[in-house]
Amino acid sequence: MVPTVLVFAGLDPGGGAGLAADIAAIGALGGHALPVATALTVQDNNRVHEVHPVDSGLVLRQADALIDSCSIDAVKIGIPGSRANAAAIARLLRQLRAADPLLPVVLDPVLASGLGDALGRGSAISALAGLLPLATVLVPNLPEAQALGAVPCEHVLVTGGHAQDGELVVNRWLHDGVERRSWRLPRLPHTYHGSGCTLAAAIAARLALGDAVEDALERAQDYCHQTLAHAFWIAPGQRIPRRILHPH
């Protein structure tokens, strides 16, 4: 049976971020995404113009139908879209953890788009507060990590792509607040739409496949870097990671 990842994220009609990114990345790594839409957006490869949260009751019904019929091997959370949706997802996670206390949960704490556009109603940080204690792995970029401060997550991978200096991107893995390991990757020359979604989804896929956390982090970063190295453009501006990598 193919491992499944229950995904909560927004729909990007440009296909660069959110559910589209998650589905492709999880599938490319051998898993199957179960995508639950938390928000509908109006956006292109550069800017988010509108975000419309899905009703929290509909979020619950989408997920319940899957939970009732499918085995869930991991969960990946992107934008909840609203505080009500975040609370609904937290209730679902507690329900899933009651049946499987070791269920991996990967949280991408998206506070804004790459260019600073809001991605939901109300305060993104307050919406995430109830989800943070339930995450196995938190994957913030540098600005998100600084905004969140100390978090109650066991594993945090802070990505360094937003640092503006140096030829290397340094990603740091903290375990219970203590740095355990860092990875140094060559800095690529472009900007990318959906790179954070891709990395978080890849980590969730590797955990669903049974990897230990360190192995999942390493393999997911390697995969994500390859998607960026082979990224393509659909319009001027940010490039789209090539999540389905074709052998040459």
Q: pLDDT > 90: what percent of the chain?
A: 82
Domains of the chain: 4-229 (3.40.1190.20)
Over 90: is that where the pLDDT of 119 sits? no
Q: How would residue 248 be classed by pLDDT, with cut points 50, 70 and 90?
A: very low
Q: How would residue 43 be classed by pLDDT, with cut points 50, 70 and 90?
A: very high
Q: How would residue 112 be classed by pLDDT, with cut points 50, 70 and 90?
A: low
**Residues near 35 by beta carbon (within 8 Å), at least 6 away in sequence:** 7, 9, 19, 22, 23
Structure tokens at 226: 């390859």
Cβ(173)–Cβ(189) below 8 Å:
no
pTM: predicted TM-score of the whole model, two decimal places: 0.94
At 178 the pLDDT is: 93
Instruction: Give the residue, 160 or 131, on which the prediction is more confident.
Output: 131
Cβ(87)–Cβ(118) below 8 Å:
no
**Residues near 176 by beta carbon (within 8 Å), at least 6 away in sequence:** 154
At 8 the pLDDT is: 98
Residue with tokens 């640092």: 163
Q: Which residues pair with 41 in a beta bridge?
A: 51
